[in-house]
Amino acid sequence: TRTPVNVTVTGAAGQIGYALLFRIASGHLLGADVPVKLRLLEIPQGLKAAEGTAMELVDCAFPLLQGIDISDDPNVAFDGANVALLVGARPRTKGMERGDLLEANGGIFKPQGAAINAHAADDIKVLVVGNPANTNALIAQAAAPDVPRERFTAMTRLDHNRALGQLSKKTGVPVSEIKKVTIWGNHSATQYPDIFHAELAGKNAAEAVNDEKWLAEDFIPTVAKRGAAIIEARGASSAASAASAALNHVNTWVNGTAEGDWTSMAVPSDGSYGVPEGLISSFPVTTSNGSYEIVQGLEINEFSRTRIDASVQELVEEREAVRALGLI
Ligand code: NAI
């Protein structure tokens, strides 16, 4: 029998938490043969709802679920964590400036990073989902100097999956035959979904689509603004798809990308593709044996260059803002 993996989930009582926890417990995070222990972190007002969710988890009698702990103390919730999904964040409310938003999230991600530094397991892997995800990941990373910096990642897998969905809808090629799509930059409206290296049933996607107007005026804005479109349609933000993408992100990180394919993850830049070193920016990555590498050597055309640069510039500004606030 394998020792259970400790999975810490913050914002456990939220929408994404509710869509995420049952699937973690049923083996969709790490695999159908890996037992898990859940460690749920909430703020005091969220504890009661988290306890209700924990009751339901018990009632599912998942064979892989070997325990649930709930706390409002990051030092407890991250104790022994092997995987941390940082979902809880402070949303932007009406009239809130970016500086206020970053400061409020600094108040969450700085102590959580410090708790990870002090208490998590040596093999800790961190995925930040809560927005602004890339910069929240940077804040947590800065507060955890003893953890290898590449263990802090942010989620652009939902954007990646949205791009697969839109390409499939446009071309009729099933998602299973679409490869090498890339999301570059920030998980925000400036992100750049790139299909110039993508393959549709073995053919170059940009050539197969052969419609730059659709690319510029339909595909890219549809993927980048999908979150707002979901809110408009559903009356609530994307939760099941976000949870599904979080499972995909960690599962791919742990279990590897398929031969001949890659995925998109926001990871600390090593300077590749002109992205300033240290920024947590989305790249094409391959994974194996629990680690990842940024795909090297892709040719970046003019169309892509402008869009990557614009999104990276936004990350540079966010980093400057949190630096000015003393958060990193
Ligand atoms: P929600 O508001 O339903 O839930 C958030 C939960 O986090 C609440 O239960 C709240 O009490 C909790 N929380 C707040 N501060 C906390 C703290 N310091 N420690 C622990 N828990 C805390 O929100 P939802 O829909 O679950 O979304 C969560 C986050 O995910 C949001 O920031 C949202 O913008 C982001 N998101 C990111 C996506 C991505 O692709 N990267 C996609 C969709 C959502």
What are the residues facing 266 on neighbouring strands? 154, 282
Which atom, in ligand 1's list, is nearest to the CA of 157? 40
Residue 2 pLDDT: 85
Neighbours of 49 (CB within 10 A): 15
Q: Is the CB of 50 under 6 A from ligand 1?
A: no
Ligand 1 pocket test, candidate residues 16, 21, 103, 187, most atoms within 8 A of CB: 16
Residue 93 pLDDT: 85
Q: Is the CB of 132 under 6 A from ligand 1?
A: no
Q: Is the CB of 183 under 6 A from ligand 1?
A: no
- Gap from CA of 88 to ligand 1 centroid (Å): 4
* Two structure tokens written together for 124: 């800790």
- Gap from CA of 214 to ligand 1 centroid (Å): 33
CA dist 248 → 158, 275, 309 (Å) = 9, 25, 27
Q: Is the CB of 41 under 6 A from ligand 1?
A: yes
**Ligand 1, atom 16: nearest CA belongs to which residue?**
88
Q: Is 105 a known ligand-binding residue?
A: yes
Phi/psi of residue 154, each to 5°? Answer: -130, 160
Q: What is the pLDDT along the chain (328 residues), one digit of tens a residue?
A: 689 999 999 999 999 999 999 999 999 999 999 999 999 999 999 999 999 999 999 999 999 999 999 999 999 999 999 999 999 999 888 888 888 999 999 999 999 999 999 999 999 999 999 999 999 999 999 999 999 999 999 999 999 999 999 999 999 999 999 999 999 999 999 999 999 999 999 999 999 999 999 999 999 999 999 999 999 999 999 999 999 999 999 999 999 999 999 999 999 999 999 999 999 999 999 999 999 999 999 999 999 999 999 999 999 999 999 999 999 9
- Gap from CA of 7 to ligand 1 centroid (Å): 17
Residue 138 pLDDT: 98
Neighbours of 130 (CB within 10 A): 24
SS3 content of the chain, % helix, strand, coil (to 5): 45, 20, 35
Q: Is there a cis peptide before residue 132, judged by omega within 30 degrees of 0?
A: yes
Q: Is the CB of 20 under 6 A from ligand 1?
A: no
**Local structure of 239: helix, strand or coil:** coil
Q: Is the CB of 89 under 6 A from ligand 1?
A: yes
Q: Is the CB of 188 under 6 A from ligand 1?
A: no
HSE, side-chain direction, 13 A CA sphere, residue 260: 9
- Gap from CA of 146 to ligand 1 centroid (Å): 26
CA dist 74 → 78, 105, 189, 325 (Å) = 6, 15, 31, 22
8 Å CB contact between 198 and 206:
yes
Q: What ipTM was reported for this prediction?
A: 0.98
Residue 145 pLDDT: 98
Neighbours of 300 (CB within 10 A): 17
**Ligand 1, atom 34: nearest CA belongs to which residue?**
131
**Ligand 1, atom 27: nearest CA belongs to which residue?**
16
Which atom, in ligand 1's list, is nearest to the CA of 239? 25
8 Å CB contact between 277 and 271:
yes
CA–CA distance, 51 with 61 (Å, rounded to integer): 16
Q: Is 118 exposed, middle or buried (0-12, 13-18, 19+ CB in 10 A)?
A: middle
Would residue 187 show up in a list of annotated catalytic residues for this protein? yes
Looking at residue 3, what DSSP letter applies?
A: P
Q: Which amino acid is at 20?
A: L
Residue 99 pLDDT: 87
**Ligand 1, atom 36: nearest CA belongs to which residue?**
130
Q: Is the CB of 113 under 6 A from ligand 1?
A: no
Q: By C-alpha distance, which of 134, 86, 84, 88 is closest to 266?
A: 134
- Gap from CA of 130 to ligand 1 centroid (Å): 5
